[in-house]
Amino acid sequence: MSLKITDECINCDVCEPECPNGAIFQGPEIYEINPALCTECVGHYDKPQCQQVCPIDCIPFDPDRRETKDELMEKFKKITSVK
């Protein structure tokens, strides 16, 4: 399951540098997450780092993009070329 950034985002800039996959980017109005790159930090950390640093808690899991931990690990391996 990818994460998503909601309209409550205040563009504080703390989440983008924390993403190890480069999935977070500045959208037209708020930061956004590329679901193809989001692994919920699986393969890097125990918890999603963007959620850990967000001061207003506006980065929930996206229920429309459900993935198992195994699927997230496979995505991590593909993105990072880890075998």
Per residue in 21-69, pLDDT (tens digit) is 999 999 999 999 999 999 999 999 999 999 999 999 999 999 999 999 9
Distance CA 45, CA 27 (A): 25
- Identify whether 28 is part of a domain: yes
Number of domains in the chain: 1
At a CB cut-off of 8 Å and minimum separation 6, what does 27 contact?
A: none
Which pTM does this prediction carry?
0.91
Distance CA 55, CA 14 (A): 9
- Identify whether 61 is part of a domain: yes
- Identify whether 32 is part of a domain: yes
Domain that holds residue 28: 16-80
- Identify whether 3 is part of a domain: no
Task: Say if CB 9 and CB 30 are below 8 A apart.
Answer: yes
- We report the CATH number of the domain holding residue 54 as 3.30.70.20
- Identify whether 9 is part of a domain: no
- Identify whether 7 is part of a domain: no
Distance CA 34, CA 25 (A): 8
Average pLDDT over residues 74-82: 91
